Amino acid sequence: MNRLVLAIFNIFSLFSKYENSQSNSANFIFVIIPIFSILLLLMIFAGIAFIIFHYTQAAVKSKSSRVGRRQGRV
């Protein structure tokens, strides 16, 4: 996790170097693109995690209900 944060800070420091040499509109692009890409990656990972969690919870519930029926509980 710390490495990820450091990598993000390194990316932003690179973009700040570009900011000093380029015009204002170019800075805007160089700052906005990494922010959106990071947000997109986070959303994708959150979606994958949610799907995995949902299916594992469904599997746990179905197993526990089977065990309950076998033991005579509803």
Q: Where are the domains of the chain?
A: 2-70
* Mean pLDDT of all residues belonging to the chain: 74
Q: Is the pTM of this model over 0.75?
A: no
DSSP per-residue letters across 5-69:
HHHHHHHHHHHHHHHHHS-HHHHHHHHHHHHHHHHHHHHHHHHHHHHHHHHHHHHHHHHHHHHHH
For residue range 16-52, what is the model confidence (pLDDT) as tens digits? 665 555 566 666 777 788 888 899 999 999 999 999 9
